[in-house]
Chains A and B, each alone.
Chain A
Amino acid sequence: MSGTGRDGFRRWLSFYAAGAFALLYLPLLILSAFSFKSSKFTV
């Protein structure tokens, strides 16, 4: 595997992992953020 190809793949994996972690945490973070204020968004 060439150095450039390997670095590109690693970078892609990092971005992907960031997206996956965002997917895992976004619902909970948004829910906890909105729990501190009255809001018209309701479940």
Chain B
Amino acid sequence: MNRLRAAFLAPAWVMMLGLMIAPLGIVCAYSILTRGAYGGVTLPWTLENYHRLLDSLYLVVLVRSFWIAGLTTVLCVILGFPLALFISRSGRRKNLYLSLVILPFWTSFLIRTYAWMFLLRDTGLINTILERLHIIHDPLPLLYNDGAVIVGLVYAYLPFMVLPLYATLERLDPLLLEAAADLGAKPWEAMLRITIPLSTPGFLAGSVLVFIPCVGAYLTPDLLGGGKTVLIGNLIQNQFTTARDWPFGSAASLVLMALVMVLLIFLIRRRGDELL
């Protein structure tokens, strides 16, 4: 029986070993090697790459990444919660609205980001309309700043917040709200004291799903930030491409992963029963 179980589990173990543990082991090894003269890695072993990350230049990038990811998560909560609430109370049309949330994400992520560039650039649609209406005379600097990056990230990750929130709200017993109303609670009181607290698992799951990819995002900051908003994802990408400093890029990747894991462990210890 044990052999049979092992045989059935073997493909999963091979997948884990080949697709997760081995690449991670390579990244760990690279992070403590020295940069080769023409890229690549070479001996000796060193911890210098981790020391370099303590430079204020890189710490600022790390803090900015966490700040932008945090702000994006908060905005996704604010924008996503009413939408999830609307969908959960839509009766037979629930599935239609859910499909409408997911449908734009069948198109390429790159196309959607370019669509925002088209809207936000100096000669883009928003500035052109505002100029034609004589509301502004010079184009507004909507693109290539932190605001544009946050807009792009919120747009990209909003469904990741809406879907877990919907799953939680859908399970909410409507009788609780009826009971609150019978006991004299105003709509906003019922919202604050019943709907929102009982939606905590959805908030937590959505926040994890939005925050983690946002911290490591590099395409959106690169295109909508125009290289002015450097996040840790861009830093890592640059190390592996233009800078050809794979050891430093590996060290930065591992530190980012460790920080996210610390945050997740903290969250699971505090609210694990609601999150898992």
Interface residues of A (CB under 8 A from B): 1-2, 5-6, 9-10, 13-14, 16-17, 20-21, 23-28, 30-31, 34, 40-43
Given known contacts A10-B89, A23-B155, is B83 in contact with A28 (CB within 8 Å)? Answer: no
Q: Is the CB–CB distance between A34 and B185 below 8 Å?
A: no
Annotate B257-275 by CB proximity to A: 1 below 8 A, 0 otherwise. Answer: 0000000000000000000
Cα–Cα, bound, A23→B75 (Å): 14
User: Which B residues are in CB contact (< 8 Å) with A24?
Assistant: 100-101, 104, 155, 158
Complex Cα spacing A31 to B112, Å: 9
Q: What are 13 A-B contacts defined by CB distance under 8 Å?
A: A1-B185, A1-B187, A5-B186, A9-B187, A16-B83, A17-B82, A21-B100, A27-B116, A28-B107, A28-B111, A28-B115, A30-B119, A30-B125
Q: Are A1 and B186 in contact (CB under 8 A)?
A: yes
The answer to whether A31 and B158 have CB atoms under 8 Å apart is no
- State the Cβ distance, B117 to closest chain A Cβ, in Å: 5
Category for how many chain B residues contact A: 20 to 34
A27 x B187 contact (CB < 8 A): no
Q: Is the interface of B mostly helix, strand, loop or mixed?
A: helix
Complex contacts, B28 vs chain A, CB 8 Å: none
Which residues of the other chain, A, contact B50 by a CB distance below 8 angstroms? none
Q: How far is the CA of A16 from the CA of B124 in the complex (A)?
A: 26
Query: Is the Cβ of B83 less than 8 Å from the Cβ of A41?
Result: no
Indicate whether B85 reaches chain A with its CB closer than 8 angstroms: yes
B104/A25 in contact, CB under 8 A: yes
